[in-house]
Structure formats: structure tokens, C-alpha cells
């Protein structure tokens, strides 16, 4: 495989590890835990992995000798920068435990475990992928591990390869599945440990023990570079309003972080929309007012950032989508059999009167997008809903009416964008390269200490890497009950933007100025080499949350 000069240079980068992990360590158990909500229900579902203590690795003077360990690893769900470094850290950690330890990669996600498709990951293979983006070392997939038949099929190959532990690298749903698998194997005394690692560029898998999910830092830097490029063009041509949709299905962390990095004229935060119970028309009016105010100063250009999942946070849209999800969970085949040109009328008749009115009022394209195939978890694929086009068109209609009424005298032309895949497989930033390597290495230590049902945890990451704190958090601690496919299921609770948190407060304190004036920041590309203040900085969100910047 031909490599670019950057790939060659990055291959030589040695990720930093917490000082603790470079030496002999021992495991210290902390407080017993309970789930964030629905404690009785979660405990009943996970009797073998519920209530376990928090874990922390500390330096030890005692030297330990361990036997060789065979482990497996799975990449699950969407890609995120740094996944290869998690595997590299896991591999190096296992080899440090014993030189004869082996690591097997199951191919194309959890389906590889069920279908017995795997490769042994050798040092030669691992070295090809260190510090690179993507998940192509073994591929990823979205197969859900939730059926005992799948668990038993997986157990067959794990026993055949003498694998004692399985590491699942994924987001909230993937780690929920990992916990279900851990519980099943623990109940059977199968001798298989299951460890999770927190991945998702959306940034919604975090809590007091998981500071951030890997990939968020890199993706936001990539998107911010692109937004900065657009804003430079915008400020040069001075004739377009750019409506930019950003990934973030269930939370607005990416949109908020990119706003803090680039200072756009308008940024929607879905959680605020929900808290204020804003209607679609209110959102459109607010953007139109910003356009009008800038036009008075002769600025017929600007940028609007839109979180991917916005439409689910608009109260009347959320009620509609919940009913659509429930209906299609039980009648998908019936609906798909209806002629395309009659599906809208059919669905309108099946909905409750209030939701039917909302559904019938939507543009044809959006109404169709709301009934497309669900994701594996039974939810609308919001990335397929062109919210950026919807808002651009609706703002245009409102401004045209205002112009007719003499309330607006500017010019309004738009460009629309959706930044998604551009950020998912980028080469990891220094922060993500280090963080991911430490997560994988920590997972190897959780394995050798016999733990299962835990997620690898690395904290204190706004400090130099040598001061990072490594340990483990029980996955059940993060769980609550939510409706999926029309039924209540245990899932990891998503972390939404906190409106009383420092990142949002910082944004809110500045957005009026950004809306009126042209305060654009052009971050430029991710820096791998150079002064620390340029190339080794974590996200502004994390710095603000830790009180490290203003």
C-alpha cells in the first residue's frame, strides 16, 4: 500500500500513556455503583454485573507474572477517528502482559463473531494501522448482539480460539449490547470476559467517569476546519447564507463545539429548542431575524450551524416521530406494500388527529424521509432528513413575505451542506491518538484483572498525559430504560448538552455578538506537529467543562 508523507510521519508517532500504565500497577476498587435511573429494573436484568465498584489503576512496587491471554476485538457501529489506536493499545498491553498473548479481530463488526469470521492481528498488521483513521483494519458493522442464539454462536468460536476476553469498541448501543453479552456469559459461567470502549463522534457517551468518547475531538476539528473555510469564502464573496448540518443524532455536542471553535452567525442547539418548546416556525423566525439584522448593515451573508437530530427535539415533531416509530415497528411490511404515491394519505389516516395535522403540513420530501427504513434500533434515520434544506427554504419563504410587507430589504441566497462522513475516518488528532491508545491499554489491564461488564475509562485528560487516570466503570452504572421498537429496553443513557454547563453558557454569552457582527474564526487544519498550544489541545467543550479556559 502506497503511503503519503503524512502517513509515514504519523506512523512514527508514539502515543503518550499515563505514567501509571508505564509501570507495575495494581487495581483499586472504589465505591459500589448503581444505574443512573430505573435501578430496580436494571438490577433485575443484570444480576451478575450490577452494582460493581468503580476501578482505578495505581502504581505498585509488586511485580506480577501473568500467563498468556487470547483476546478478541470488535469494532461496532459508525467509524470514529482513533479506533485503530484503541486496538494498538490493546495489542501492546496484551503483549506487555505476556509475549505469547494473541489478539483476534472479528471482521465487519459483531456479525463477524456470530459468523465466525476473524483474523489474528499480528505485530506486522498492527504496525500498518497505528495513528491512522478509519476502521479498515477489521471493518465495522451494525449487527446487534441481543439474541441468545447469537451469544451461543459467538461462544463456539471464542472457545475454539481459546479467547478469554472480548473487547467491543462502540457507542452507547454497542456498549449496551456488550453489557448484555457480559451478563449472559457471566450467568453461564462461560469464562468469557467482555470489556467496552467508549466510541462516538457525537460526544453523547460521557459521564463523570467517561470524560469524552473518542473521535469527538478529531471530528470537531475536521468540521471546524471546513466551516472556517466556508466562512472565509462567505466573507469573501459576501453573497450567500450557508446552512450547515453537522452530525449529532441525539445531542448537539458537535454543533456546539464547532460554534465555539468558529463563531458562526447562528447555531441551533437542539436541547435548548426542546427546553424552550420552540416550534419549527419559531426557529425559522429567529434565523430570519438574524438575516434581516445583518442585512441592515449591508451584510447579506452568514453561516448557520444545524445539529443533525434537530427535528427530533422540536416538540410537535418528536410526538409525530414517536408515533411513526411505534407504528412502523409493527406495520413496516404493511406500509411498504402501499403504492408510493398513496403512502402519505395512508399514514395520515393511521396517525392520531394531532399528529396527522403536523404530518400533513410537512413538505412532501420531509414527510417521505420520516417514513424511510428505520435504523437497527428502530429509530428514524435523521441523517436522511434534509433539515438544512428545509430551514433554508422556510427562511427564504418568510423573508419573501417580510419583503412584501416592507420589513426586509436585503438579498437572500443560500448554499446548503451536510458534514458527516468527512469527519468519521480522519487521521486522529494528537489528543485522540493518545486517548485511544490509553483506552486500549487500559482494557488489557481490565482483562488481566479478570473484570467483565466494564468500560475502559481514562480521565483527567485536560492535563498532560502522564497525569491521566486509568480505570474502569461498570456499564450498568450508565444505564436506564428507554422505549425501543415499541418496548422498554435497558440502554446507556445518552449525555445531552447541559444548558447550565460552561460550554453552552460560553456560547450563549457570545451568540448575540456573533449573530450581528462578522466574528469568524478560521481554525485551519488539524495540527500534528508544532507547539503544544497548537497541536496538543483537547476540545473547547472538555476544557470548559474542566474549568481550564474561559
* Cα–Cα distance measured from residue 140 to residue 76, given in angstroms and rounded to the nearest whole number: 5
Quick one: which of 403, 413, 388 has its CA closest to 304? 388
* DSSP letter, residue 103: E
Question: Which residue bears the cell 476498587?
Answer: 29
What percent of the chain is helix, strand and coil (3-state, nearest 5)?
A: 45, 15, 35
Residues paired with residue 168 on neighbouring β-strands, in sequence order: 74, 196
Using alpha carbons, list the distances in angstroms from residue 194 to 49, 75, 89, 474.
Answer: 11, 13, 17, 11
CB 299 within 8 A of CB 236: no
Query: Rounded to an integer, what distance in angstroms lies between the CA atom of residue 471 and that of residue 211?
Result: 12
Q: Do residues 537 and 256 make contact, with C-beta atoms less than 8 angstroms apart? A: no
Q: Which of 311, 350, 300, 345 is nearest to 330 (CA)?
A: 350
- Which H helix or E strand runs over 200? none
Which secondary structure element, helix H or strand E, spans residue 450, and what is its range? Answer: none
- CA dist 447 and 445 (Å) reads 5
Determine contact, residues 309/268, Cβ cutoff 8 Å: no
Q: Return contacts of 48-51, CB within 8 angstroms, 24+ apart.
A: 48/183, 48/186, 48/187, 48/453, 49/179, 49/182, 49/183, 49/186, 49/452, 49/453, 49/474, 49/475, 49/476, 50/474, 50/476, 51/474, 51/476
B/e letters for 103-113, b = 16+ CB within 10 Å, e = fewer, are bbbbbbbbbbb
Q: Which member of 92, 173, 202, 432 is catalytic?
A: 202
C-alpha dihedral sign at 25, 27, 28, 30: positive
Sequence-ordered alpha helix ranges (H) in 48-171: 83-97, 110-114, 123-129, 148-160
DSSP state of 491: E
Active-site residue flag, 202: yes
Residue with cell 483474523: 119
Per DSSP, helices labelled H in 130-200 are: 148-160, 172-187
C-alpha of 124 from chain center: 30
Distance CA 465, CA 549 (A): 18
| Most distant pair of Cα atoms in the chain: their distance | 81
The 8-class DSSP code of residue 525 comes to S
Residues designated as active site: 202
Amino acid at each position: 500500500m502506497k503511503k503519503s508523507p503524512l502517513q509515514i510521519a504519523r506512523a512514527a508517532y508514539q502515543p503518550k500513556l499515563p505514567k501509571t500504565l508505564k509501570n507495575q500497577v495494581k487495581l483499586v476498587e472504589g465505591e459500589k455503583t448503581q444505574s443512573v435511573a430505573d435501578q430496580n429494573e436494571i438490577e433485575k436484568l443484570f444480576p451478575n454485573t450490577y452494582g460493581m465498584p468503580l476501578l482505578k489503576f495505581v502504581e505498585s512496587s509488586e511485580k506480577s507474572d501473568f500467563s498468556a491471554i487470547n483476546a478478541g476485538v470488535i469494532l461496532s457501529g459508525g467509524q470514529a477517528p482513533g479506533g485503530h489506536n484503541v486496538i494498538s493499545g490493546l495489542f501492546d498491553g496484551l503483549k506487555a502482559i505476556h509475549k505469547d498473548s494473541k489478539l483476534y479481530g472479528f471482521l465487519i463488526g459483531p456479525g463477524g463473531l456470530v459468523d465466525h469470521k476473524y483474523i489474528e492481528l499480528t505485530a506486522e498488521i498492527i504496525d500498518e494501522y497505528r495513528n491512522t483513521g478509519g476502521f479498515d483494519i477489521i471493518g465495522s458493522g451494525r449487527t446487534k448482539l441481543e439474541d441468545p442464539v447469537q451469544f451461543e454462536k459467538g461462544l463456539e468460536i471464542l472457545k475454539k480460539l481459546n479467547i478469554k476476553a472480548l473487547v467491543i469498541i462502540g457507542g452507547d448501543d454497542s456498549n449496551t449490547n456488550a453489557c448484555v453479552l457480559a451478563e449472559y456469559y457471566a450467568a453461564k459461567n462461560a469464562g468469557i470476559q467482555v470489556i467496552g470502549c467508549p466510541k462516538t463522534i457525537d460526544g453523547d457517551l460521557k459521564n463523570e467517569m467517561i470524560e469524552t468518547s473518542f473521535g469527538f475531538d478529531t471530528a470537531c476539528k475536521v468540521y471546524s476546519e471546513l466551516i472556517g473555510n466556508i466562512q472565509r469564502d462567505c466573507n469573501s464573496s459576501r453573497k450567500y447564507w450557508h446552512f450547515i448540518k453537522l452530525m449529532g443524532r441525539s445531542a448537539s455536542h458537535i454543533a456546539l463545539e464547532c460554534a465555539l471553535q468558529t463563531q458562526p452567525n447562528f447555531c441551533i442547539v437542539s436541547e435548548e429548542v426542546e427546553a424552550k418548546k420552540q416550534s419549527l416556525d419559531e426557529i425559522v423566525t429567529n434565523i430570519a431575524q438574524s438575516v434581516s439584522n445583518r442585512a441592515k448593515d449591508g451584510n447579506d451573508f452568514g453561516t448557520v450551524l444545524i445539529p443533525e437530530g434537530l427535528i427530533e427535539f422540536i416538540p410537535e415533531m418528536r410526538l409525530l416521530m414517536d408515533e411513526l416509530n411505534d407504528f412502523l415497528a409493527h406495520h413496516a411490511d404493511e406500509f411498504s406494500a402501499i403504492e408510493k404515491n398513496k403512502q402519505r394519505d395512508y399514514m395520515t389516516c393511521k396517525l392520531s388527529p394531532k399528529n396527522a395535522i403536523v404530518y400533513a403540513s410537512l413538505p412532501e420530501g420531509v414527510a417521505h424521509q420520516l417514513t424511510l427504513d428505520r435504523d437497527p434500533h428502530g429509530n428514524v434515520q435523521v441523517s436522511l432528513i434534509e433539515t438544512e434544506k428545509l430551514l433554508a427554504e422556510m427562511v427564504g419563504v418568510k423573508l419573501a413575505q417580510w419583503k412584501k410587507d416592507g420589513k426586509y430589504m436585503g438579498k437572500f441566497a443560500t448554499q446548503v451542506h451536510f458534514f458527516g462522513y468527512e469527519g468519521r475516518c480522519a487521521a486522529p488528532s494528537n489528543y485522540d491518538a493518545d486517548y485511544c491508545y490509553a483506552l486500549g491499554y487500559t482494557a488489557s489491564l481490565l482483562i488481566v484483572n479478570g473484570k467483565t461488564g466494564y468500560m475502559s475509562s481514562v480521565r483527567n485528560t485536560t492535563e498532560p498525559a502522564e497525569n491521566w487516570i486509568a480505570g474502569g466503570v461498570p456499564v450498568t452504572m450508565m444505564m436506564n430504560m428507554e422505549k425501543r421498537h415499541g418496548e422498554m429496553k435497558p440502554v446507556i443513557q445518552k449525555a445531552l448538552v447541559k444548558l447550565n454547563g460552561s460550554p453552552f453558557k460560553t456560547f450563549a454569552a457570545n451568540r448575540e455578538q456573533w449573530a450581528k457582527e462578522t466574528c469568524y474564526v478560521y481554525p485551519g487544519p488539524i495540527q500534528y506537529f508544532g507547539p503544544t498550544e497548537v497541536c496538543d489541545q483537547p476540545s473547547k467543550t472538555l476544557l470548559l467543562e474542566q474549568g481550564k479556559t474561559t
